[in-house]
Structure 1
Amino acid sequence: MEDLAVGTRVKHAVYGEGIVSRSHLTIFEIFFERGGKMELTKYNTELEILSTPSEEKPRSGLSLIEVEKVIALVLDKYQGITYDAKMADKWKGGTLEMKPANPELQSKDIPMETFFHKIVMLRDRLRVLEQNINTHEKLDDQDKVQLQQYITRAYGSLTTFNVLFAEKDDYFKGQSK
């Protein structure tokens, strides 16, 4: 699975069918029908190759499904779901040290850039979940409001990490009182 070309159609037991959109050093970025954009390791054994770009028949135009995926990508890009949040300078090059209470156990150091990236990805995935809830066709307004309140509380729980962000516009915001 290490050399899937961009455009390869794959299938995953949990996320359904998807299309490889990027190939990084150790991961594939894949848009799935269930789950949206996911990053999976190149060593993932749960991917089944459905077709490669060279196996597909040439055609003109886009299918409705492809147009929907392009629109979703544009909405993802331009509706505040971004991956370019800046980390505050004071944390750059630093590490997060996690020490267990038991002194016999080993501590763990994580580069701040790695930790910050995980926090930003969590924030962005919450935003995608929020959009999916708000546009879900089978949820009624009451269900949407209830689920939205859980997401708002999750944002509130994450406000501790606002100190990592360089810009206040990128902060987690919980429920205002």
Structure 2
Amino acid sequence: MASPLRRYRAGESLEDYCRACKNDRLHTVIAVDSDGRPLRVSCGYCRSEHAYRGGPRVKAHGATSQTGHTGHSGHTVPAASREATHAPSAPRSAREGSAPPSAGDGFPLISERERTMPRMSADSSVADLELLLRRVIREEAGVSTVTPADKWRGGSLVLRPGTPGLQEKAWPIETFFHKIVMLRNRLRTLEQHVNAADLPDEVKVKLQSYITGCYGSLTSFNVLFAEDEDQFKGSGGE
């Protein structure tokens, strides 16, 4: 006999899939229906709000659910349908870095060009520890996949000394691009926290002006982004 569904109330916590984080996160329930089913939740990591998506994409023990689940609309979705939508066909670390992104795609969170050590042996339990660690660290640091301008794909960031005879330093452009995206995401998160904070209006305005000034100082890097919505907006922006 199946156990009854739990009834939730606003303010309670549950796990759900966050598209902004691209990961399962702990969420806070914002709204529920008359039967106590969550309708809208807020991610406890990035603070983004979205409709409840039916729970975590992957169970805590690593196995996906074998039975159907009930979404916020009340319709039961078969487990096979969920797995076809969410379950990866191959390890993510193997997919990212194995093939270059095509035009219009974002830089993968990790790329083969960023490797500094030889590939691990085939008998290792982890396909590639270095690329795996890079992906995990960037995901936890808030880096998201953003589309770069096509002309920068395969490029390098080069620091060339003005003194003759000194060696220049170069990095894959995606390494620098990810740092810029991470900085932008953290500024956006800071802005959300300021807006939601219980502060006097004059303090909020002052803090907002500092954040806007940071955006303005970083507009030089907008040349890296393919989409206007991903760019930094200073005081002259919308």
Structure number with the higher strand fraction is 1
Higher relative contact order, chain-length normalized (CA < 8 Å, sep 6+): 1
Greater shift in the superposed pair: 121-130 or 60-69: 60-69
Change (3 A) 1:173 1:85: same
For the residue of structure 1 that corresponds to 2:43, the secondary structure is helix
- Tell me what 1:76 maps to: 48
CA distance in 2 between partners of 1:146 and 1:106 (Å): 44
Greater shift in the superposed pair: 121-130 or 164-173: 164-173
- Tell me what 1:92 maps to: 153
Report Cα offsets for 1:12-41 as digits up to 9, x if no partner: xxxxxxxxxxxxxxxxxxxxxxxxxxxxxx
For the residue of structure 1 that corresponds to 2:171, the secondary structure is strand
Change (3 A) 1:103 1:169: same
Aligned length: 115
Q: Quote how far apart the aligned CAs of 1:168 are.
A: 1.4
- Tell me what 1:49 maps to: none
- Tell me what 1:113 maps to: 174
Identity of aligned residues (%): 50
- Tell me what 1:57 maps to: none
Report Cα offsets for 1:52-95 as digits up to 9, x if no partner: xxxxxxxx8889674594123474376xx982320011001100
- Pick one of 185, 202, 212 that aligns with 1:142: 202
CA distance in 2 between partners of 1:77 and 1:101 (Å): 49
TM, length-normalised to structure 2 = 0.42
1:1-177 equivalence runs, <5 A = 66-67=13-14, 69-70=26-27, 71-73=42-44, 75-76=47-48, 83-103=144-164, 105-137=166-198, 139-176=199-236
TM, length-normalised to structure 1 = 0.55
CA distance in 1 between partners of 2:169 and 2:13 (Å): 43
Change (3 A) 1:154 1:94: same
CA distance in 2 between partners of 1:88 and 1:150 (Å): 28
CA distance in 1 between partners of 2:167 and 2:202 (Å): 47
Report Cα offsets for 1:98-148 as digits up to 9, x if no partner: 1233445442211111111111111010000001111112x2111111000
- Tell me what 2:125 maps to: none
The CA RMSD over aligned residues, in Å, is 3.1
Structure number with the higher helix fraction is 1
Unpaired segments ≥5 residues, structure 2:
1-5, 16-25, 28-41, 51-141
